[in-house]
Chains A and B, each alone.
Chain A
């Protein structure tokens, strides 16, 4: 659970910066930030499960 919380915090910080820097309009910034946030979480979870099954 601690790992997930840390990953969520990381995704949140990165999403805030990416969203604000990449887009100009507030609405676009929020949408892009949420998208980046979700992508970080989903990719992190998928990678976690893939690595879980690797024997090395």
Chain B
């Protein structure tokens, strides 16, 4: 029996082996770790003292030194990061398609109003200022702003189907706020990407 430390928590190792098995330096075998739930599933130990025999209990014992450990039982948080539930994907997609919807469906009214409101307001202001949406037309320079625009989900897809807001109208381009406009439209999409990820994380249990 030996006491080892794991961080600040003392561990008591209860070893059950025969005398013959304990002759080897390296210890490999079943070890009961106390307190339970310490999170250690596999230990590599080295015998650091001679073999002794507990005459009362009829068991052999020796001092063991911990060389390494492998933590196989991960906390719940790490488990949730490995596999997000399908609900999280649904919330994420809903939040992308309609800004604020991902939080609304989860009952996060405050977040839905502020996050969705910010994205909607940014998008509408961008249009009112004369901004235009971008679409890929073979020019690589139009791809990054298009990815930004695409973040607004249906706010981008619907005008795309209807053919609204994409043409570089000379009169619109002449507006003093034209540059602000398309910048706001891109920023609205980028902000909605953040909002979408927030809705995903909440549904996956990574955030409260």
- Report which A residues bind B (CB closer than 8 A): 2, 6, 9-10, 12-14, 16-18, 20-21, 24
Chain B: residues with CB nearer than 8 A to chain A?
A: 111, 114-115, 117-119, 121-122, 125, 129, 176-177, 180, 183-184, 187-188, 191, 194-195, 197-198, 207-208
What is the bound-complex CA distance between A10 and B183, given in angstroms?
A: 10
Interface centre among A2, A6, A12, A18 (most CB of B within 10 A): A6
B115 touches A16 (CB 8 A): yes
Given A2-B176, A6-B177, A10-B187 in contact, is the A24-B111 Cβ separation under 8 Å? no
Are B195 and A16 within 8 A (Cβ)?
no
CB <8 Å contact, A20 and B191? no
In the complex with contacts A21-B198, A24-B208, A14-B176 CB distance below 8 A: no
Tell whether A20 pairs with B125 under 8 Å between CB atoms, given A2-B177, A10-B184: no
Instruction: Give Cα A10 to B122, complex, Å.
Output: 8
Query: Nearest Cβ in chain A — how far from B200, in angstroms?
Result: 11
Report the minimum CB–CB distance from B153 to chain A (whole Å): 15
Instruction: Apart from A17-B115, A20-B198, list 14 A-B contacts with CB within 8 A.
Output: A9-B125, A10-B183, A13-B121, A13-B187, A13-B188, A17-B119, A17-B195, A18-B194, A20-B114, A20-B115, A21-B194, A21-B197, A21-B198, A24-B207
Complex-state Cα separation, A54 to B117, whole angstroms: 38
A12 surroundings in chain B (CB, below 8 A)? 118
Closest to B208 in A: A24
In the bound complex, what is the Cα–Cα distance between A2 and B178 (angstroms)? 13
Interface centre among A2, A16, A17, A18, by most B CB within 10 Å? Answer: A17
Closest to B121 in A: A13
